[in-house]
Amino acid sequence: MRILLVEDSAPLRKPVVKALRASGYAVDATGDGAEGWLMAQDHDYDVIILDIMLPGMDGREILRRIRAAGNETPVLFLTAKDAIEDRVAGLRLGADDYLTKSFAIEELLARVEVLGRRKYARRSPLLVVGDLELDQAAKSVRRGGRDINLTPQLFALLEYLLLRKGQVVSRTEIEEHIYDEMVSPMSNVVDTAVCALRRAITISDQSTPIIHTRRGMGYVIPESR
């Protein structure tokens, strides 16, 4: 999943980005409100984390514009303003959640995870296909009763494909959601990652292939599995 973080305090932005990336999210971050609004327009983020007091453009204004543009991406307000009226105003503007500074990084990650599930209309953190289970909360993958260790990026790729189960997911979409702006659009990083993921989730010669290639279109995990 790809996250946009707009937070003007660099000392705070840095560890939050690090934590999100370590949890397998692709993260774009900026400290400027106007730039954040441009990024929200350019990419289809799974979750947007917004500070309220921002240079360039106020976080509330960014949210107002996002909603006015018909963008339903879940938004989490991350701010020092803890007054009831600030929370109510933020939620009424269309924010999905509100977290007051300072916060436990685990709480932020849990809230981001919940908001990510909400985007795909899911309540359970468990994604299942055939004998493979992915637990979004525990960040664990099991197949045939055996634990599989995945890197954060492969975990995010599998999670995204499972969330889009039954749909063909293009390479561009994978790039959009799994990789941040640092990845070159010309690279074959997606194909390499899918190949690595296939190897990782194949636990024996009898393991049924889960990820299928649709030539010229992308990858799919069939619904029937």
Partner 1 sequence: MKSIRFQLLGWLLPGFVVVCVVAIMGVYFSAKQANDADLDARLGRFAGSARLALRNQANAGTGGARTPGLRAFLAKEDFQSPGQYFELWTSDGVLERRSPNLGNADLPRPPELARDAIRYDGTLENGEQVRLSAMQYPQGGGSPPLAFAVALSRSEGEARLSRLLTDLVIGGVVCCAVLCLLLVLALRFALRPLARVGEQAVAMGAASLHERFAMEAMPLEIAPIVTRLNDLMARLEQGFERERRFSGYLAHELRTPLAAIRATSEVAAKWPDQSSPEDFHEIAQAAARLQHTVDSLLVLSRLETASSDVTSETVVLGPLVEECVALHMERAKQHDLRFDLRLDSSPTLETDPCLLRIIITNLIANATEYAPPGSEIVIAATGDDPFLRVGNLAPDLTPEDIPRLFDRLWRKDTTRTDATHAGLGLSIANSCAVARGFTLTAKLDDGGVLQMSLHREK
Question: Residues in the site for partner 1, rule: CB under 8 A?
Answer: 8-9, 11-12, 14-16, 18-19, 22, 31, 33, 53-55, 58, 80-83, 100-106, 108
Nearest residue (CB) to partner 1, 24 versus 218 = 24
- In angstroms, give the least distance from the CB of 47 to partner 1: 17
CB of 123 to partner 1, least distance (A): 26
Question: What's the order of all strands across the beta sheet hosting 47-50?
Answer: 26-30, 2-6, 47-50, 75-79, 97-100
Smaller CB distance to partner 1: residue 108 or 141? 108
Measured from the CB atom, the residue of 51 and 176 that comes closer to partner 1 is: 51
Residue 73 or residue 100: which is nearer to partner 1 going by CB?
100
Name the minimum Å distance from CB 221 to partner 1: 29
| Shortest reach from residue 18's CB to partner 1, in Å | 5
In the bound state with partner 1, the residue whose beta carbon lies nearer, of 28 and 175, is: 28
Q: How far is the CB of 103 from partner 1 (least distance, A)?
A: 6
